[in-house]
Each structure stands twice: as structure tokens, then as C-alpha cells.
Structure 1
Amino acid sequence: MQQPYYMIDFSASACFFEIKINDYPVIHMNIDGQVSSNIPINYAILSSGLQTISLSILPNIGDVELHPKSEVKIKIQLFDVSAGFVFQDQILELQSEGVSEKKIPFINYSNTFRAEVPYHLEAWQKGINLKEIDGYEEKLRNAYEKIAILIRNKDFESYKQLISKRENNMMVSMYLSNAESESRFNGLVQDFQLGFEMLPLSKDALLFLYAENKVAMLKKINGEPALSLENKETEEELILDIAFYIPEGKEDFEVI
């Protein structure tokens, strides 16, 4: 298979949940009712071999215990996209158990699956364990502010350079051409220019560590990424889901 494409097909109800591949978050949602969808996960599969998947199910934001109807179902599916979008196999299926009458604050699941991909991504593998250095949270906030300033100043070329490693990994793992990758970025810039203004970085944004403490993110209280833009006229919000790491031998955060 020339272009294996892994996706998670999921459904969830009455909970806040997060799915991670190789300890890297691929989706998190706060669901009051029910939802079902699917998402690609190739960008979190760095190379062929055994992969890990973990699922955390928590109460809805504002609640302290899981709802009796809290539930998440996951299927990992393999497609071949070398000539269309052709289903090949179902790799793994996971369904959360029902919530008992006993009050439960959260539920965690984990499993493994094997993936074969024709690439090797250079991502956070050679990043520094952030728990081993001092003052990294302040550095992280400065990195977020730097990106916010670039967007406010409409310095999109500098912003493009800062996210180039991430975008290259996306291009490789999603089998995009150079033109398709360029179009992806240009579409984002177009959104920036359609009346969206960068919102201040929340002072109470929470720090989260992933990928064995090598990747850092700031998130709002509601679990959404800390960086966002707002269009006051249309009342729309544009969220920037960005992650950072510090490569070995360096001192500053970089987008990954």
C-alpha cells in the first residue's frame, strides 16, 4: 500500500473526552448531547511499528462526576488514498463501559495497534523533557505571545517560518503535494484577513504536557487551545491548535 491513511471513527455522549496517539492529543471535545465523526491521525504516527492509543473520559465542564450516559466508542480504520479513498481494514475497536451508580470522576483506557507508514517524521522525539528544566512555563507563554504578535502585525511570512516544521510533517504524513500544502497555509491566512482579530492570551490558561513531557500546550479553562481569533461582526471564532517543544541543544520553544 503506497499511501496508508489511518483514521479514528468515534462517537461520544455526555462527557468531556480526549484521545491521544503516542501520548499526543488528536482530539478533545466537551459533549453535552451526542456526536459522531472521524479524524485523521497520520500526523501522530511518527514511523511504522507499534502505536499507543489512550482515551480519557471526564465529566462535562462544570460537573464533578460522570453522567450516567457518558460513553465513547472508537474505531481505528485504515484507508488507502493512493487512488481515491478506499477502506482497507478495521485495526482496533474500543468502547467504554457503562457508568455505574457509583460516582466516578473519570475513566481511562489504553491499547496498542500496529501501523505501517512509508515515512519517518522528525517531530518531538529529540525534544527536551520539560520537567527537567526550570522556568519553561514562562518561556512557553512568551512563545505563544510571539505568534500572537506576528498575526496581529499581519507578518504572515514570519508566522509561516515558525510553523514550517509542523506543516512539513503534515504534508508528508497526509501525502500532500507542495501546492496543496501551500494552499492549506494560504487558506489560513485568508481566514486571518476576513475580519478576525487576535484575542489576548488568557492569563489563567492551563499548561498541559504531552509526548512524555516533551510537548507543551496552553489551554483555556474549557479545554480549547489558548490561541484564538474573533470576528466580532460575524461572532465567529478561529482557534489555533498549536503545540511547542524545545529541541535538544536549544533553549527556546519551537512549534511542532
Structure 2
Amino acid sequence: MTKQPYYMIDFSASACLFEIRVNDYPVIHMNVEGQVASNIPINYAILKSGTQSISVTILPNVGDLELYPKSEVKFNIKIFDVTNDFVFDQQFGDYQSETVGEKKIPVIKHIGTFKAEVPYQLEAWQKGKNLKDVDDCREKLESAYGKVTRMIRDGRFDDYKKSISQREENMAVSMYLSKAESEGRFTDLVSDFKSGFTIQPVSKEAVMFICGDNKVAILKKVNGEPALYLENLEAEEELMLDISFYIPEGKNEFEII
């Protein structure tokens, strides 16, 4: 039976705004004013077997100009085999950022690589246009976000499902989801949409991030959270929609990937 390797980044961070990318695709972007520790799956950013890149950028918290003496990020990569259960396989790629201490440091960056073997190959943003060659990229991206906002606001969930179909197919393949599990992801999302949440307009202050080797674009708040979100005022909760866009070769408009 073919193994189903499940790659995760196990990380902790203190007093910083940081972003970790796998193959130049953001897998975590967070403004941490205290401390946080967690782990996240990264298979969806591993498009095929071979050498993968991993990078981290560590910045001061929003509103600050320098890192704090105790600002730091640590992480490692863990592999689990999920063929029959969730079985730990190995750990590697340990990273710990340099000690800031009394030094005045505005940014810390690290780039590395690791080997990954996966039983799939994803069709994602590889065949997208280089966004550096696209005129009015920001305007086109805002228009794409606007279309998604209107779909959700108007309750056109079948249209939204179609718009995220390639993304969800890649998620299902890379995370080894059954058809029922994949369908369940969307059903749960629509259930959240209908449970008192209202889609919010994307702020003009949102920051545009270009990633995926200049083929993917994302709008985010200055604190790293997705710019697209829903809000439930009564429950005082927000539901983030962490989606990204690319322009397929031969087309002129952004699509979700």
C-alpha cells in the first residue's frame, strides 16, 4: 500500500509578526504579541516530490520598528504516515532564529530546503501568469475579491463552490481526503455562512502580497490575517476566508487557487 506522508510544521513564536512560506507560498502569517505554539499541515504547498523551499520572515509587531529582545521563532518539520492511522515517522529541519537581545534588528530572514516524497502531483499556480507582467494587478485582484464577496452576500453558494473547486481538489488530494470528507468541508463552511455571519467588505488598507514565484496574489490585513472575513456581531466572532488568487495562462482575470 502506498504511504500517505503528512507533513507538518511544529512552531512557536514570541513578540513578533512572522510569516513562514513553503515553496514561496504562505502557510502561516501571524502577529504574536505574547507567545504562541502550534502545528500546521503543509502538504497543500508541496506540489510534487523533490526539493522544497522553506523560508521565514520575522518582523516587529504591528506599529513597532524593531524586534523585541525576546522576539523569536522556532520550528521543525514532522512527518506522519496517515495511511491507516496518524503515526509519527520522523522530525527534521530544526530552526531557531538568532537571539535579538540588545541588538537593534528590524527584520530576520531565513531560507532553507528540505526533501519531500508525496504520492501526488498538484496542478496549482505553476501555469499562472507572472504577476509582475500584469497591468493593474491590484485593481484586478480587488475585483476578484469583490466577486467572491457578492457571491457570499447574495447566498450564491453553488457559484462559490465552483470558484474554489480547483483549490478544494488540491486540498483533497494532498490531505488524502475522501469524497465525503471533501464535501463535508464545504458543507461545514456554508453552515457557518448561514449561522449569523455577514460578509465584510475588503478594506482599501489591505496589503497585497505576491507569492508563489510571482504567480499568486493575496490581500491581507496589516497583522497578517486574511482581508476577507465574515463577522457575527451577536456572538462577537469572525470567520476568516484564507484564499489566494492566480491568473491562469491564456486568461486575464484572477481565479481562486
| Residues 138 and 208 in structure 2, CA contact (< 8 A), matched pair in contact too | yes
Aligned counterparts, 1:81-230, within 5 A: 81-230=82-231
Distance 1:55 1:222 in 2: 16
3-state SS, counterpart of residue 138 of structure 1: helix
Aligned residues: 256
Distance 2:183 2:250 in 1: 30
- Using the TM superposition, give the Cα deviation of residue 142 of structure 1 relative to its aligned residue in structure 2, in angstroms: 0.5
3-state SS, counterpart of residue 159 of structure 1: helix
TM-score for both structures, normalised by structure 1? 0.98
Aligned counterparts, 1:5-84, within 5 A: 5-84=6-85
3-state SS, counterpart of residue 169 of structure 1: helix
Q: What is the letter of the counterpart of residue 210 of structure 1?
A: C
Q: What is the letter of the counterpart of residue 144 of structure 1?
A: Y
Distance 1:244 1:106 in 2: 27
Distance 1:12 1:52 in 2: 20
3-state SS, counterpart of residue 17 of structure 1: strand
The CA deviation string for residues 180-210 of structure 1, in whole angstroms up to 9 with x for no partner, is 0000110000000000001111011111100
Aligned counterparts, 1:223-242, within 5 A: 223-242=224-243
Distance 2:33 2:114 in 1: 30
Distance 2:20 2:56 in 1: 5
3-state SS, counterpart of residue 214 of structure 2: coil
- Using the TM superposition, give the Cα deviation of residue 242 of structure 1 relative to its aligned residue in structure 2, in angstroms: 0.6
Distance 1:168 1:133 in 2: 27
3-state SS, counterpart of residue 12 of structure 1: strand
3-state SS, counterpart of residue 60 of structure 1: coil
- Using the TM superposition, give the Cα deviation of residue 136 of structure 1 relative to its aligned residue in structure 2, in angstroms: 1.6
- Using the TM superposition, give the Cα deviation of residue 91 of structure 1 relative to its aligned residue in structure 2, in angstroms: 2.6
Distance 1:48 1:164 in 2: 23
Distance 2:115 2:224 in 1: 29
Q: Equivalent pairs: percent with the same residue? A: 65
Distance 2:231 2:13 in 1: 28
Aligned-pair Cα RMSD in Å: 0.8
Which consecutive segments of 4 or more residues in structure 1 shift more than 2 A?
none
Aligned counterparts, 1:235-250, within 5 A: 235-250=236-251
Q: What is the letter of the counterpart of residue 123 of structure 2?
A: E
Distance 2:134 2:229 in 1: 28
| Runs of 5+ unmatched residues, structure 1 | none
- Using the TM superposition, give the Cα deviation of residue 30 of structure 1 relative to its aligned residue in structure 2, in angstroms: 0.9
The CA deviation string for residues 132-151 of structure 1, in whole angstroms up to 9 with x for no partner, is 12112111100000000000
Distance 1:12 1:184 in 2: 29
3-state SS, counterpart of residue 83 of structure 1: coil
Distance 2:108 2:101 in 1: 12
Distance 2:222 2:116 in 1: 34
Distance 1:133 1:9 in 2: 36
